[in-house]
Amino acid sequence: MFDYFEIREEIREEIGKGKEGKPVVALESNLITHGLPFPENIDTAFQMEKNIRDQGAVPATIALINGKIKVGLTHDEIERLAHSQNVVKASKRDLSSLVAKGMDAGTTVALTMWIAHRCQIVFFATGGIGGVHNSYEGEYSMDISSDLIELSRTPVAVICSGVKAILDIPRTQEYLETMGVPVLGYQTEELPAFYSQSSHLRADYLLKDPQEAAQVVWDHLRLKLGTGLIIANPVPTEFALSKKKVDHWIEQARKLAHKENIKGKQLTPYLLNKVKELSEGRSLKANIELLKHNATIAARIALSYHQIGIKS
């Protein structure tokens, strides 16, 4: 199977060292190809990697390059993805076709989780997970993100700022509960709402620091519960937006998407872009800052997890 993978030497060595190596934190590439505009996509990708290194861990940005599953991109490869106009947004169902056709692709949360797990990477930092789309879309089209399915069957800890704000957060939380996926609040008792610090929904449990978060992940994996975990980390206070304002912008964006018949893979990037326009760029700034912050927190938790392994 690993004929399909190309794991950067530094990452392969650290994983191979086990307790003697540094922890590795996975990063998705869909934020580079579809989530952020140029040049913010390049700057944010580089800064997330730097934040992880600054904490003493090793970043592993994941993507498809020429049909190869790349675990750990070079700067040139990140720039290649950021500049390209024809890169595919890839989830698990796309993988075999993209590999066979030798294509480039940015990996979604679902596919990044699957690849990380195959490479023995426990921690993954991203912005927000996909979920259940709002009623008039979800009820008729069954538009439910494969991120939720992957979380139900792939034991990776996903550090994020909750569910993307454009989605139906209460229904997504219910779905995660049904699938047995714990939703844990990092230094918060409430589930963040991506651009906003609270969705007014309670997280399952509060994690007070990296050590407690690492212990929960350690026990979850040793119990072989079989699911991933969400560690929901709020956007930093100075960049947080009012949920009331965000909800208003999202409703306007949804109406435009419905009018223009935007669906499927195109819906999420369309809505995010419209919210960026309506917020005069404030949502983009919040998105960038929460991504960078999540990378830092993921590295801190990964380091604490690594210490538990050394002592065990």
The residues assigned a catalytic role are: 28, 164
User: Is the separation of the CB atoms in 295 and 184 below 8 Å?
Assistant: no
User: Is the separation of the CB atoms in 230 and 150 below 8 Å?
Assistant: no
Q: How many angstroms separate the Cα of 181 from the Cα of each of 124, 154, 155, 312? A: 15, 10, 10, 26
Q: What are phi and psi of 256, to 5 degrees?
A: -65, -40
Strand ranges (E), 103-252: 105-107, 123-125, 157-160, 183-186, 205-207, 229-232
3-class secondary structure, 183:
strand
Q: What are phi and psi of 8, to 5 degrees?
A: -55, 140
Place of tokens 């229904």: 171
User: Is the separation of the CB atoms in 156 and 123 below 8 Å?
Assistant: yes
Q: Is 4 left (phi over 0), alpha (psi -120 to 50) or beta?
A: alpha
User: Is the separation of the CB atoms in 270 and 262 below 8 Å?
Assistant: yes
User: Is the separation of the CB atoms in 155 and 181 below 8 Å?
Assistant: no
* Interatomic CA distance for residues 58 and 160, integer angstroms: 18
User: Is the separation of the CB atoms in 266 and 166 below 8 Å?
Assistant: no
- In sign, the C-alpha dihedral spanning 110, 115, 117, 123 is negative
Q: Cα 272 to the chain's mean position, in Å?
A: 15
* Interatomic CA distance for residues 5 and 49, integer angstroms: 20
